[in-house]
């Protein structure tokens, strides 16, 4: 008998929890009126900083670089 609550183990990519934690922190800090727009800009700025800083990315997300990029993205968002 098949259950709709099967225990299909999901693999969480390395750096994903840190990425989400950083995003949640910046949303709580900035209190944006449009979380979707804030998120779009946040992740676009984060990706641009990652790609520009390392020349192509290929990174795993998370870590000190992601924290620096996240802080920069949030500061840009607040200035806008």
Proportion of the chain in helix, strand, coil states, percent, rounded to 5: 65, 0, 35
For residue 2, tell me if it sits in a domain.
no
Q: Whole-structure pTM over 0.75, yes or no?
A: no
For residue 8, tell me if it sits in a domain.
no
For residue 26, tell me if it sits in a domain.
yes
* 31-41: pLDDT as tens digits: 999 999 999 99
For residue 36, tell me if it sits in a domain.
yes
* Domain span including residue 30: 16-53+62-79
For residue 71, tell me if it sits in a domain.
yes
* 58-67: pLDDT as tens digits: 444 444 455 5
For residue 34, tell me if it sits in a domain.
yes
Number of structural domains in the chain: 1
For residue 40, tell me if it sits in a domain.
yes
Strand, helix or coil for residue 11? coil
């Amino acid at each position: 008998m098949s259950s709709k609550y099967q225990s299909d183990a999901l693999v969480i990519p390395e750096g994903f929890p840190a990425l989400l934690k950083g995003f949640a922190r910046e949303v709580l800090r900035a209190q944006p009126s449009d979380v979707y727009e804030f998120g779009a800009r946040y992740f676009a700025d984060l990706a641009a900083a990652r790609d520009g800083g390392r020349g192509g990315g290929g990174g795993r997300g998370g870590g000190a670089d992601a924290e620096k990029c996240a802080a920069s993205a949030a500061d840009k968002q607040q200035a806008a």
